Chains A and B, each alone.
Chain A
Amino acid sequence: MSEYLIRRLALSLTAMLGVITIVFVLLHVSGDPAALLVTQNATKQDMERIRQAYGLDRPLSVQYGRFITRVARGDLGYSYRQGLPVIELIGERLAATFELALAALAVAMLLGVALGTVAAARRGSGVDTAAMTIALLGTSMPSFWLGLLLIIVFGVKLGWLPVSGYGGLDHLVMPAFVLGGFYAAQVSRLTRTSLLDVLAQDYVRTGRAKGLTGRALLFKHGLRNAALPVLTVLGLHFGQMLGGALIVESIFAWPGMGRLAVQAVLGRDFPVVQGAVIMGAAVFIAVNLTVDLLYGWVDPRLRSAAQRA
């Protein structure tokens, strides 16, 4: 088990290193990193100061090394636009994004599994078709359009929910639904298929319908087995949700990391963008690591399979 742990940890660290490298490349691909790191009011002296401070006149390999050590120390740079260290700006907003992502995950799981289970239970019926149509539409509709529609219907026309901002549970409902909706649709289709798989096998094996009790038992057994692939997918989705948060936070004025990143890109505040990428990747890697470890602990078969890969 510890071998597995060390292996996964090492992979995570190399992934993180890779991310930092990608960011480093991005910073230099435009030609003049100093121009990216300052605000539009910067004078030539300001740019010189930046060049000195970040050692941008040194050879690339030296810069690379210094970049890695800085990030490892937690120094993600300084936003000249806002006049604050990037890590502070992100730190203040991380909690809000987490709240949103977790709520979206909950929506995805609950709604998705429920929808998928209902569809599998009534396979081939009108309910199944309806559920899967909704799911298909859910994966096809862009989140920004869904968000707009919900704002009009629930926010303006019906007035049931606040339209934007950060506050209590009612402020969380629409953003979480918009962010989680896409994944709910995916999870529902996946749940349905996995359940049908499992059901088909068990059905063939036992060879007799035991009635409602039997179906309920099969479902419990089915759900447990279907849970594993669903969980993997959710782990992957959490990371993608951090990306989707960029749009949802912008539409709903949610003060999270995603909105910070969008505003930073629009405002050419590259240190913040850089910090957001590193932070987003760090969270993704950490979540995946946790999910993998949980797996390895829960299902030894997967552990050895993973080791062989």
Chain B
Amino acid sequence: MAGSILAFEAPRSAPRARRASPVRRLLRSPSGAVGAALLAVLLAAGFVGSFITPYDPAAQNLGLTVHPPSLAPMRGAAHLLGTDQLGRDVFSRLLVGLRISLLVALAVVPLSTLVGLTVGMVTGYRGGWLDVVLMRLVDAQLSIPTLLLTVAVVAALGSGLLQIVAVLGIAGWPGYARVVRAEVLSLREREFATAARAVGAPDVRILAQHVLPNVLPTVLVLATLHLPVVIVLEAALSFLGLGIQPPAPSLGQMLGYSQDLVWQAWWMPTIPGVAITLVVLAFNLLGDRLRDVLDPRLRGLGPA
């Protein structure tokens, strides 16, 4: 195996059973390990670091605006990543913005997953007119470019944390539904399912005990791939001014508001840009490895 952290293996249709635990295999590969480590750092920064910030993220200091990053103390203490247009500490705002971005992603993905999983399982297993109608709805929603759809829903519902979570959750479910349905369709005809039906087990039990566990790995992969998409979507909305509103910080919002400063303070848009890229990178690395480990057939789906 090449020493490069980016060596992708050719696919092998090995049976899924009788291999080392997915987590071990995930962490054994360099890219998976890096992704996991990066994610750990970011999660720590976002969920622990953001509560012990060196400064109050909202504390303004009009005498020290747009100051470059510096370790040397000035009029008090050092501003590791400098200050913004109102003299607020960029590092502290970055941590809180990271927390908010992660929170949004971690709220949206389970929401989409839940809806998509339920719809996918029900339509895949039961079929019938419900299947036809819901799948047409899925087709329809997937025909609308995601950003355009989210922007339109914001136009109808307004912006703000709760609305953003709802909007992005709504935008995400069809992807899951489609894939889960396809999985369930094939699982439906497997021996364990036909056997259970012959015995007279109720559908719900079959779904819960037999279908769900087999579908979960796929869903997990999809979810891990969906997370970076949500991060970028929220950042894009905030960048356009449609997402998280001030004074609450958000990485996309920080980038959007500092684009004008790009000449005299190049670090100001760069820092949130790098932060977003790192978060997405972490999820991408993990998601890629997870996909290779759990379900190579999903390759080609990629981040949507």
Contacts and interface: CB of A to CB of B under 8 A. Distances in A.
21 contacts: A16-B143, A17-B136, A26-B156, A30-B157, A129-B4, A136-B285, A141-B280, A189-B302, A190-B302, A193-B10, A240-B146, A241-B145, A243-B147, A243-B148, A244-B147, A246-B147, A262-B151, A265-B152, A273-B155, A276-B148, A281-B145
B10 A197 contact: yes
A148 interface: yes
Given A29-B156, A29-B157, A136 B242 contact: no
A243 B157 CA distance: 19
A200 interface: yes
Interface stretch (B61-69, B81-89, B209-217, B228-236): B228-236
Nearest to B4: A129
Given A124-B4, A139-B302, A277-B148, 16 more contacts: A17-B140, A18-B136, A22-B144, A142-B276, A145-B277, A156-B263, A193-B299, A196-B10, A197-B10, A233-B300, A243-B147, A246-B151, A247-B240, A250-B240, A262-B240, A264-B155
B94 to A, nearest CB: 14
Contact of A270 (B8, B10, B155, B277): B155
Instruction: Give the interface size bracket for B toward A.
Output: 35 or more
A242 interface: yes
B74 interface: no
A274 B152 contact: yes
Given A18-B141, A145-B273, A273-B155, A265 B8 contact: no
Contacts of B154: 265
B156 A261 contact: no
A202 to B, nearest CB: 12
Contacts of B172: none
A226 B242 CA distance: 40
Interface in B255-285: 255-256, 259, 262-263, 266, 269, 273, 276-278, 280-281, 284-285
B281 A140 contact: yes
Interface of A: 11, 14-19, 21-23, 26-27, 29-30, 36, 124, 128-129, 132-133, 136-137, 139-145, 148-149, 152, 156, 186, 189-190, 192-193, 196-197, 200, 229, 233, 239-244, 246-247, 250, 258, 261-262, 264-266, 268, 270, 273-274, 276-277, 280-281, 284-285, 288
B246 to A, nearest CB: 15
B11 interface: yes
Q: Which 5 residue pairs of A and B lie closest in terms of their CB atoms, listed nearest first? A: A18-B140, A243-B145, A145-B273, A243-B147, A140-B281
SS class, residues of chain A in contact with chain B: helix
B14 interface: no
A148 B271 CA distance: 13
B8 A193 contact: yes
A280 B157 contact: no
